[in-house]
Amino acid sequence: MSDTPAPDLLTDQLDEAVLAVPGVDALYSAAPLVATVIASVIATTVEAVTGRPRVTSSVYVAEKKTGLEIAVKIGVTLPYAATDVSRRVHDAITERLDQTGNPAVAEIAVTVARID
Amino acid sequence: MISSDELSGHTFEELSDYLDRGRTPADPSIDSSPECQTALSGMQRLRRTHRALLRRDVQRESEREESWVSSILQHINLEARAGRDIPISHPSPTARLSVTEGAVRGILRAAGDNVPGIIVGRCRLDGDVANLGAPITVRVDATVMEGENIPALADQLREALYSALHQHTELSVAAVDITIRDLYQSAAPRRRK
Amino acid sequence: MTTLLQREPAPHPLESASDLTLADRAADGDVRAFEILVRRYGPLMRVYASRVLGSNDEMDDVVQESFITAWQQLPTLDNGAAVKSWLMRIVSRKSVDRVRARRQHVDIDLTDAPAPAQHSPHRLAEAGSQTEALTRALADLPEDQRRCWTLRELAECSYGDIAEELELPVSTVRGLLARARKTLLHEMEEWR
């Protein structure tokens, strides 16, 4: 039985899992908003040429008493539907968690912030 | 040098104001005075000279390389338009799925963009969107191309909006209100130089 | 022999949309509509800023800050059709703030001091034309007169808007405009 990886490594793996879901074309910073004068939203996009993600933002993972709190904010590309894609992203996350020690989960939040 | 006593009893300030009012209501004492007309023509010449200067300067700025545009777009705060979270159902009790109001407004506009002859403006979702099953009224402003059949276009748009809402949300849409705010003219086709 | 037909990329339908439509959509979050507004009025705002600043140095910064503020505050704009003068008021305010920040350590009465004409990029060795003469005359105007005049002639703001922007009574705005025109006309007459 494998232990759940440390949050950093887990974040990377979840990023990968999320970006692999068809219809996801961007991953936005899902961390709680820190007040800044100019809050820019930096997106991770799948590079058309290489097909590999250029990761600059991540799935947010926090360890709470009741389990992991996971949040991800995505962009969906038409003709995919926000409803379908958000569910598949959630399921991709739970599947990846199953493969890495099946930790307790408090919440998995998926927010579709853009549909283009 | 223009001084007050040469302006038939009018001050330069009055004439300046008259110019900005578009010379209405007409003032016969100004209109019939040669000195006043000279001053007003001078001000209009000044305006024309300035417009020429402005055109030249704006043209020069328009021709500069464009990194300043992308720099601006990278710094605007997209979070500011997110609006409320609209829930999406999932069997798992620890799942919290949603689509933002901002994203939904985007697909409403996109649905309108796919209907030729009509452009969607502002969109509103009236009702408790956070409550799955609560009846929602969608209100949309639109402008229509001149000469188009407005009711037919509105119907087409309404269908497209219902379809988009159904595809991306689980909202219970009670009504879609479309307000036609204006007409626009079709853009002239661009000519190749 | 084949002839290659090259099509110009079709303009996005939004590109010719009215200011009102673009402002409304941008207020709702449409980045593409906002971009069109940026391209439509950015150059004019750059000219405006460079006039107030007296140089191109901080022009890009000022215009960028203005558009970032505009994006934040667009939902508060009641009449989207007035977005042009609204944008001009923002850039006017930010340009003046910059100038004041520069002068902070110097005690200058801003209402009467002429602009720092020596920094003007428009200053030419010889002024041969009407437009060059006007450029120089504008740079030499006292700041409050120049602001009034520019808000009116460049930004096409109403007296009411100018009064609100400069926090002056409308009568004062009227007077400043007249003084500016009188001075400019006098200077221009020397070039006939």
pLDDT digits 0-9 by tens, B116-140: 999 999 999 999 999 999 999 999 9
Q: Give the residue-averaged pLDDT of A80-96.
A: 97
Helices (H) and strands (E) in chain C, counts: 8, 0
Does residue C47 contact residue C38 with C-beta atoms inside 8 Å? Answer: no
Q: How confident is the model at residue C51 (pLDDT cuts 50, 70, 90)?
A: confident
pLDDT at B3: 54
Quote helix, strand, coil % in chain B, to nearest 5. 45, 20, 30
pLDDT at B193: 44
Residues on chain B touching C188 (C-beta within 8 angstroms): 42, 45-46, 49
Residues on chain C touching B181 (C-beta within 8 angstroms): 20
**pLDDT tens track for B16-44:** 999 999 999 999 999 999 999 999 999 99
Q: How confident is the model at residue C127 (pLDDT cuts 50, 70, 90)?
A: very low
Residues on chain B touching A86 (C-beta within 8 angstroms): 88, 97-99
Q: What is the mean pLDDT of chain C?
A: 83
Q: How confident is the model at residue B82 (pLDDT cuts 50, 70, 90)?
A: very high
Q: Give the residue-averaged pLDDT of B69-84.
A: 89
* Whether pLDDT at B67 is above 70: yes
Is B78 in contact with A116 (Cβ distance < 8 A)?
Answer: no
Facing A40 at nearest CB: one of B75, B107, B168: B75
B168 touches chain C (CB under 8 A): no
pLDDT at A54: 37
Lowest mean pLDDT of A3-7, B174-178, C102-106, C125-129, name the range. Answer: C125-129
> With b meaning 16 or more CB within 10 Å and e meaning fewer, what string describes C61-81?
ebbbbbbbbbbeebeebeebb
Which one-letter amino acid corresponds to residue C9? Answer: P
Query: What are B127's two structure tokens?
Result: 């009702």
Label the pairing between strands A24-28 and A67-76: antiparallel
pLDDT at B2: 53
Is B96 in contact with A108 (Cβ distance < 8 A)?
Answer: yes
**pLDDT tens track for B146-176:** 888 999 999 999 999 999 999 999 999 999 9
End-to-end CA distance of chain B: 48
Does residue C63 contact residue B61 with C-beta atoms inside 8 Å? Answer: no
pLDDT at B115: 94
Which one-letter amino acid corresponds to residue C5? Answer: L
Distance from CA of C172 to the nearest CA of B (A): 11
Interface size between A and B, measured as CB pairs under 8 A: 87
Q: How confident is the model at residue B4 (pLDDT cuts 50, 70, 90)?
A: low
Q: Give the residue-averaged pLDDT of C54-64.
A: 88
Residues on chain B touching A76 (C-beta within 8 angstroms): 103
Does residue B86 contact residue B104 with C-beta atoms inside 8 Å? Answer: yes
User: Phi first, then psi: what are they for B99, rounded to 5°?
Assistant: -125, 140
* Whether pLDDT at C5 is above 70: no
Residue length of chain A: 116
Whole-angstrom Cα distance, residue C166 to residue C164? 6
Largest Cα–Cα separation, chain B = 87
Whole-angstrom Cα distance, residue C49 to residue C58? 8
Q: What DSSP element (H or E) covers B43?
A: helix B34-62
Chain A residues within 8 angstroms (CB to CB) of chain B: 33, 38-41, 67, 76, 78, 81-83, 86-87, 90, 94, 105-116
Residue of B181, B186, B178 lying closest to B112 (CA atoms): B178
Helices (H), C116-169: 130-140, 143-153, 159-166
Does residue B120 contact residue B157 with C-beta atoms inside 8 Å? Answer: yes
Residue C80 per-residue DSSP state: G
ipTM of the prediction greater than 0.90, yes or no: no
- Give the three-state DSSP class for B192: coil
Is C31 in contact with B73 (Cβ distance < 8 A)?
Answer: yes
**pLDDT tens track for A5-51:** 666 788 889 999 999 999 999 898 876 544 222 223 333 333 333 34
Per-window interface: C 90-129 vs B, CB < 8 A: none
Residue of C24, C31, C59 lying closest to C45 (CA atoms): C59
Residues on chain A touching B103 (C-beta within 8 angstroms): 76, 82, 112-115
Per-window interface: B 90-129 vs C, CB < 8 A: 102, 105-106, 109, 113, 119-123
Percent share of chain C, pLDDT over 90: 51
Q: What is the mean pLDDT of chain B?
A: 90
Most confident of B83-92, B146-155, C13-22: B83-92
pTM of the model: 0.80
For the beta carbon of residue A20, count every other beta carbon within 10 angstroms: 14
Query: Higher-confidence residue: C112 or A49?
Result: C112
pLDDT at C188: 81
Beta-carbon contacts of B167 under 8 Å, excluding residues fewer than 6 positions away, are A81, A82, A83, B107
Residues on chain A touching B113 (C-beta within 8 angstroms): none
pLDDT at B92: 96
